[in-house]
Amino acid sequence: MDRPRSAARRAGKAPVRKSNRAVTMESLASDFATITGIAPEYDEAFQAVLAQAVLYLAGRTLRPLEIRRREFLGHVNWKFRVNADVLGAFYAGAANRGITFHYHYKKAIQRAFDVADRALLEEVLNEKGVSAGDAAVLMKQFDPTPAERTVAILREECEAPTKLRREVGERNIRREILSALFAAFVWVSLPEREMHQHFDPEFSSNEYHASFWHQLHARSPTLFNRENALHVRRVAARMIASKGLSEVRAELCAAIRDHYTQINNYGFFAVLIEHAEIDGRAVEWELAADIALFAEKHRQFVLDKAYFRWKDVRSETMAHVPGVDPSIAQFELVNEGFTYRDCFVLAKDGQVQGLLMILQKNERDETLIPCPACRSQDVQGNSYPSLGVRSWECNNLLCPDRSKYNRGKRYSFKGLAMQQAIEDPLNEIPVASVRRWSRDVVDDVSDPEIVDMLLRHYSMNGDVVKVTGWPQFSKADLGRRVVHLKTPAGSEEDAFWSGPFFSRYIHRAKKAKACGEVLRQGNLTVHVGDSGEVLRTLRAGSVDGAVTSPPYYNAREYSQWPNMYCHLHDMFDIAAEVFRVLKPGAPYLYNVFDYFDNERTVVFSAMGQKRVLLSAYTVDVFRRAGFELTGCVVWDKGEIEGKRGFNAGNFSPYYQAPFNCWEHVLAFRKPGRDSKAAPPSEVIRQKPVIKMVRGENKHGHSAPFPDRIPELLAALVPSGSVVLDPFAGSLTTGRVALRRGLRAICIERSREYCELGLRMLQDEAVVPPRQLGLFAEGYIEESRSIS
């Protein structure tokens, strides 16, 4: 079984033997100097804490100096990452043999190298089940740094610190380094239990646990409630067809509020929406978008946190968006809820069978968590590593886990829970399951496979899992208890959809009409200018279809906005203009990706980084502009390079995240009696445009989309039709249109990209060379409407 038993537990402990040397400030300082050749340095605050500890420990004897030397130099190796290179080589050698190690094994291996414990490493490999041959090869790479070199590195670092995160300023870096090291030395000089007894104000001999996790469980049992660890809901196609989209959406919104209230913090909510058609529309896409947006934003309340700079958000938004009434928008209210994690596309033979959405509850919890290393409750709330996930920093100056430059240990309950889950063998996820769900486009998957994945990846042994609308959902042999809930009765439309959140950006812009520079190349018309301004010059009902990939919010140098409200306002205004110029029934294909960024509507720092619901925002914005969503083409980009799906060898719950391999090509339509055919809700496999070669952009545009996307539109309109791309980039749509005998209007604000597109057009010889010119005289025309 891939879990630590004695090895990992022994990794944090050293033999407890005593010397005859008494605990005094002088004896500790003298022994530290004997080992390092440097006298300890510290400030008055440290001296006061040390004096209290020495007074408490008076009468006790120190451990033998040789044991303390070994343990202390192990701390130095750990803090300074002295063995990083040899450890890297060890893990690389293991990976070449298909061997990975989870968190607890890595912790034991780290200790084996840092304290030069060859027997410990052999024990880890044995418990891991590594073959004798592989173990022999790996043991040859056991080459820890000699103690003399560790001391030399310590002395060098004190004289010339490396890799400081910020300017030194008034800081005495040498003293901070020596303070952190002396704290570790004091800690290893006595048995850990006695140190815990001093720093833990609630210490009780009868209730003491060597394991911090078991100690915390005994002290704060409510933190460990797992009665609602995972909720699963299935939305069947027949239910959607019988009730209709509006009623199902209203029911799900009401249910989401209930699920959020009930689910344990850091627990998951999974929603499976079956493919369903109503009047030729694949409505699972609209339903999924609405669920995701509502789940993330449905809670509206006053947030009294310094990081919520709502006045700055209000100022930025009102400077960009005309017509915002602050009394209606109520920027002082925050909108939060579940955190959107992933959406798996379940496909068969290239057709979408369903969407499996994963959401997580990360709600602020101010319950104080003592330091796992020293058990001190002298901790302060540190920054939230992500919204809703509280982290802490230890203030105890004698904590052994202070950083190299004397910062307190940082930790969170969520991180500790994830690490602890690795210990239980019933939480171990088979490698085959991790590989099966390593991408978020999954082919030919069965219901039992989905059930197995949800239980293994998003719940733990002993959890209670509650299921709605899925009678066949059961897997008791995984150690989870499955409870089936009844589907509640219908509900009315939630007030959220007409609330303050949307009034912050759903407004028309006040823009002038301006064609900018206009270039005609046969049946291609290129406008170099602002899309909102150019669109206002086009005649209403003059375009047969549109396709584009818009500038993503703050994803590129050319697409920067103060916050998400400003971006959505611009997208709404342009969507409304495209709606106006399209003919009734005309299709509009819109390529977007739910990437990672900070919306800057709650917090401006890195803690606001998350998956941006660009597709869900788009569906809502386009609906408000008048469009109807007919479906979505899934652009599967294949094997994606990246670290998101990397679980660091931890095959246990909460560590699994798929590679995000697909993008939306949302299929909208302007309602009308002359409705054109919509593209099927299918999966197309298409590699992205290769633009980077040996670090150089050979394409010229930073985010081109492949010809396959505008070709989807070309298949929907008859020859000779007029097609539009309001964010044309390097004119991919224009080139495809000319090949397919269509007329094209391309709008692009960058002259550089327009010139790039025209050069590519000339290279293709889609139109005779004599017709081509890079904005040469005679091709720049006065502003006029396109008929």
The DSSP code sequence of 136-180 is: HHHHTT--PPPHHHHHHHHHHHHHS----SS--TT--HHHHHHHH
Whether the CB-CB separation of 402 and 183 falls below 8 Å is answered with yes
Q: Which residues of 269-297 are buried (b: 16+ CB within 10 A; e: fewer)?
A: bbbbbbbbeeeebbbbbbbbbbbbbbbbb
Three-state DSSP class for residue 244 = coil
Question: Measured between alpha carbons, how far is 470 from 482 in angstroms, rounded to an integer?
Answer: 11
User: What is the predicted pLDDT for the residue at 472?
Assistant: 83
* 359 shares a domain with 405: no
DSSP assignment, residue 263? S
Cα dist from 409 to 112, 425, 658, whole Å: 22, 28, 30
Three-state DSSP class for residue 454 = helix
Torsion sign across C-alpha atoms 775, 779, 785, 787: negative
* 481 shares a domain with 505: no
- 222 in a domain, yes or no? no
Decide: residue 9, CB within 10 A, 0-12 exposed, 13-18 middle, 19+ buried: middle
Strands of the sheet with 464-468, listed across from one edge: 441-443, 339-348, 351-360, 268-274, 230-235, 464-468, 481-485
The larger pLDDT score, comparing residue 558 to residue 772, is at 558
User: Angle 614-625/284-297 helices, nearest 10 degrees?
Assistant: 110
CA proximity to 507, closest of 767, 317, 263: 317
User: What is the predicted pLDDT for the residue at 60?
Assistant: 86
* 510 shares a domain with 653: yes
Q: What are phi and psi of 272, to 5 degrees?
A: -105, 120
* 465 shares a domain with 376: no
* 478 shares a domain with 457: yes
Which of 525-529, 585-589, 759-763, 766-770 has the least mean pLDDT?
766-770
Any residues with CB less than 8 A from the CB of 140 and at least 6 apart, and which? Answer: none
- 475 in a domain, yes or no? yes
Question: Measured between alpha carbons, how far is 345 from 659 in angstroms, rounded to an integer?
Answer: 12
Q: Over range 573-595, report the average pLDDT.
A: 96
Average pLDDT, the chain: 89
Whether the CB-CB separation of 585 and 671 falls below 8 Å is answered with yes
Question: Half-sphere exposure (CA, 13 Å, Cβ side) for 778?
Answer: 6
- 17 in a domain, yes or no? yes
- 308 in a domain, yes or no? no
- 223 in a domain, yes or no? no
What is the value of pTM for the model shown? 0.90
Question: Measured between alpha carbons, how far is 318 from 644 in angstroms, rounded to an integer?
Answer: 36
Strands 391-394 and 379-381: antiparallel
- Which residues does residue 631 pair with via DSSP β-bridges, in sequence order? 667
* 525 shares a domain with 488: no
Q: What is the pLDDT of residues 427-458, one digit of tens each?
A: 999 999 999 999 999 999 999 999 999 999 99
Task: Read off the tokens for 57.
Answer: 């420990």
Residue 503's region, left for phi above 0, alpha for psi from -120 to 50, else beta, is alpha
pLDDT band at 2 (very low <50, low <70, confident <90, very high): very low
- Whether residue 152 has pLDDT greater than 90: yes
* 411 shares a domain with 286: no
Total domain count, the chain: 4
Domain coverage including residue 182:
6-210
Domain boundary among 483, 498, 513: 498
Question: Measured between alpha carbons, how far is 431 from 421 in angstroms, rounded to an integer?
Answer: 17
Domain boundary among 146, 180, 210: 210
Question: Measured between alpha carbons, how far is 715 from 392 in angstroms, rounded to an integer?
Answer: 56
Question: Measured between alpha carbons, how far is 780 from 787 in angstroms, rounded to an integer?
Answer: 18
Question: Measured between alpha carbons, how far is 670 from 578 in angstroms, rounded to an integer?
Answer: 10
Q: Over range 67-95, report the average pLDDT.
A: 96
Euclidean distance between the first and the last CA atom of the chain, given in angstroms as a whole number = 71
Question: Measured between alpha carbons, how far is 216 from 373 in angstroms, rounded to an integer?
Answer: 12
- 267 in a domain, yes or no? yes
Three-state DSSP class for residue 780 = strand
- 317 in a domain, yes or no? no
Instruction: Quickly tell me which residue has 């060898």 as its tokens.
Output: 649
Residue 98's region, left for phi above 0, alpha for psi from -120 to 50, else beta, is left
User: What is the predicted pLDDT for the residue at 693?
Assistant: 47
Q: What are phi and psi of 91, to 5 degrees?
A: -65, -35
User: What is the predicted pLDDT for the residue at 701?
Assistant: 58
Question: Measured between alpha carbons, how far is 229 from 96 in angstroms, rounded to an integer?
Answer: 37
Whether the CB-CB separation of 577 and 530 falls below 8 Å is answered with no
Three-state DSSP class for residue 381 = strand
Question: Half-sphere exposure (CA, 13 Å, Cβ side) for 397?
Answer: 19
Domain boundary among 376, 402, 421: 421
* 465 shares a domain with 519: no
In what helix (H) or strand (E) does residue 352 lie, and over which residues does it extend? strand 351-360
User: Angle 103-114/84-96 helices, nearest 10 degrees?
Assistant: 130
CA proximity to 103, closest of 422, 339, 366, 444: 422
Decide: residue 219, CB within 10 A, 0-12 exposed, 13-18 middle, 19+ buried: middle
Which of 11-25, 58-72, 552-566, 610-624 has the least mean pLDDT?
11-25
Q: Over range 143-156, report the average pLDDT.
A: 95
Q: Over range 210-227, report the average pLDDT.
A: 91
Question: Measured between alpha carbons, how far is 267 from 393 in angstroms, rounded to an integer?
Answer: 24
Q: Over range 487-499, report the average pLDDT.
A: 82
Question: Measured between alpha carbons, how far is 574 from 728 in angstroms, rounded to an integer?
Answer: 14
Question: Measured between alpha carbons, how far is 404 from 78 in angstroms, rounded to an integer?
Answer: 9
- Proportion of the chain above pLDDT 90, given as a percent: 71
Whether the CB-CB separation of 387 and 602 falls below 8 Å is answered with yes
User: What is the predicted pLDDT for the residue at 643?
Assistant: 57
pLDDT band at 168 (very low <50, low <70, confident <90, very high): low
- Whether residue 696 has pLDDT greater than 70: no
pLDDT band at 740 (very low <50, low <70, confident <90, very high): very high
* 202 shares a domain with 84: yes
Residue type, 57: L
In what helix (H) or strand (E) does residue 473 lie, and over which residues does it extend? none
- Whether residue 646 has pLDDT greater than 90: no
Whether the CB-CB separation of 548 and 301 falls below 8 Å is answered with no
Question: Measured between alpha carbons, how far is 140 from 770 in angstroms, rounded to an integer?
Answer: 70
Question: Measured between alpha carbons, how far is 451 from 449 in angstroms, rounded to an integer?
Answer: 5
Here the CATH number for the domain that contains residue 694 is 3.40.50.150
CA proximity to 28, closest of 184, 152, 194: 184
Q: What are phi and psi of 443, to 5 degrees?
A: -95, 145
Question: Measured between alpha carbons, how far is 759 from 700 in angstroms, rounded to an integer?
Answer: 11
User: What is the predicted pLDDT for the residue at 782?
Assistant: 39
DSSP assignment, residue 682? B
∠ CA(603), CA(607), CA(610), 5° rounding? Answer: 95
Question: Measured between alpha carbons, how far is 640 from 439 in angstroms, rounded to an integer?
Answer: 9
Question: Measured between alpha carbons, how far is 448 from 470 in angstroms, rounded to an integer?
Answer: 12
* 512 shares a domain with 389: no
In what helix (H) or strand (E) does residue 535 lie, and over which residues does it extend? helix 531-535
pLDDT band at 584 (very low <50, low <70, confident <90, very high): very high
Which of 12-21, 163-172, 672-681, 772-781 has the least mean pLDDT?
772-781
223-228 CB contacts, 8 Å cutoff, 24+ apart: 223/365, 223/367, 223/413, 225/264, 226/264, 226/267, 226/460, 226/462, 226/463, 226/464, 227/264, 227/464, 228/262, 228/263, 228/264, 228/267, 228/464, 228/466
Which of 149-163, 175-189, 486-500, 720-734 has the least mean pLDDT?
486-500
pLDDT band at 501 (very low <50, low <70, confident <90, very high): very high
Three-state DSSP class for residue 758 = helix
Three-state DSSP class for residue 741 = coil
* 389 shares a domain with 471: no
Q: Over range 68-88, report the average pLDDT.
A: 96
Count Cβ atoms below 10 Å from residue 461 Cβ, excluding itself: 17
Task: Read off the tokens for 36.
Answer: 């390092």
User: What is the predicted pLDDT for the residue at 277?
Assistant: 94
- 111 in a domain, yes or no? yes
Strands 662-669 and 587-592: antiparallel
Strands 524-528 and 281-282: unpaired
* 273 shares a domain with 237: yes
Ordered alpha helix ranges (H), 189-282: 192-199, 212-219, 237-243, 245-262
Three-state DSSP class for residue 230 = strand
